[in-house]
Structures are given as C-alpha cells and as structure tokens.
Amino acid sequence: MAIRITGGPVRSAWVVSILLALPLLSAAGAFSEPTSDVRIGGPPNQAELAAFAEAGGGLVIDLRTAAEGIEETREEAEAQGLRYENFPLGRDPAPESLVDEVGATLEAARAAGEKVLLHCASGNRAGEVWALHRIRQGVDPDQALAEARDAGTTGERLDDLERRLRSD
C-alpha cells in the first residue's frame, strides 16, 4: 500500500508523526494477564483504572520514576479507591532488593484476595520484575520469559533478563 502525502512539509511531518505513533496507541491498555489476578503492562489511563477497580482490582504497583510523571496515575488510582505503591526502577536491571519488595507487596495483596496491576511506562520493566518474581516462585525460566515478553519486555532488557534467568 502506498501513501501519498500532500500539503507541504508541515502537513507531511504531522501525518508521518501520527503514523509513527499508531503502534504506541494500539498498545495502550493492552495488559497481559499471566494469572487471573495480575495484569501487567504500560501505564493505565483513567478509563482503564476505573475498569480495573470495577473488576475487583485492589492494588496498582507503578515501577516508573518520579521523572516519568507518576502523580497523575497515583491520584487517579486513589480516586478509584485503589491502593497505589511506587517502586521506582530506572534504566538498570531490576536489583534483587526491588524484586523482593515488589514480590512481597504483590503476594500480600493476592493473599488478601486483591487483583494487582503491575506497570511501568511500557511493560518492559514490569515484565522483567514479574519474571524474576515468578522464578522465585519456582516457575520454569521459559514460562517466565514468555510472560515477560507478553507484558512488553523487549530488546536489551529482555536479553539481560534471559541471561540472568539462565545463570541462576
């Protein structure tokens, strides 16, 4: 399929930017559900948080840093009656201490019958942390990697995760 863009450079740049953003827009709200009580992915919007709360959601775990704009999500989650926890994870691989903290918080919520939404800015970090947590639960490394991929873990982070899982 050929696309012809007319109208000058400004209009052309606008159309191209919209086309480049389409994959990001289609991925928004696409949460993986590796278990019936855990959803993983990128940042939820207001409607997704409302739907999560309506479906029995109880806890939102956000792995973004403050610089990534967590306050809006915190406020909206709390407005929906959801608990909100932030465990900031930057560009480096997830440290064991963070995996321990997230895992303990996640499992306490699940034990209390709450559904959990684990997210970051794209699902990349959330999938990594989930996979490392799952390994500690005794899940097969191939299954943990598949769940990380489904959540959005890609590229160098996925490669590093695979090395970590294979070396344990």
* pTM for the whole structure: 0.82
Do the Cβ atoms of 157 and 123 come closer than 8 Å? no
Q: For the purposes of burial, counting CB atoms within 10 Å of the CB of 55, is it exposed (0-12), middle (13-18) or buried (19 or more)?
A: exposed
Helices within 71-154 (DSSP H only): 71-79, 96-111, 124-136, 141-151
Measured between alpha carbons, how far is 113 from 28 in angstroms, rounded to an integer? Answer: 26
Strand partners, 85: 61
Q: Enter the DSSP assignment of 123.
A: S
Tokens of 97: 């201490």
Per-residue pLDDT reduced to its tens digit, 69-106: 999 999 999 999 999 999 999 999 999 999 999 999 99
Per-residue pLDDT reduced to its tens digit, 16-74: 333 333 333 333 457 999 999 999 999 999 999 999 999 999 999 999 999 999 999 99
Do the Cβ atoms of 102 and 129 come closer than 8 Å? yes
Q: Where are the domains of the chain?
A: 31-167
Query: What number does CATH give the domain 31-167?
Result: 3.90.190.10
Contacts of 74-78 with C-beta under 8 Å, sequence gap 24+, read: 76/46, 76/49, 77/49
Tokens of 39: 């959803």
166 band by pLDDT with thresholds 50, 70 and 90: confident
Do the Cβ atoms of 51 and 162 come closer than 8 Å? no
pLDDT of residue 110: 97
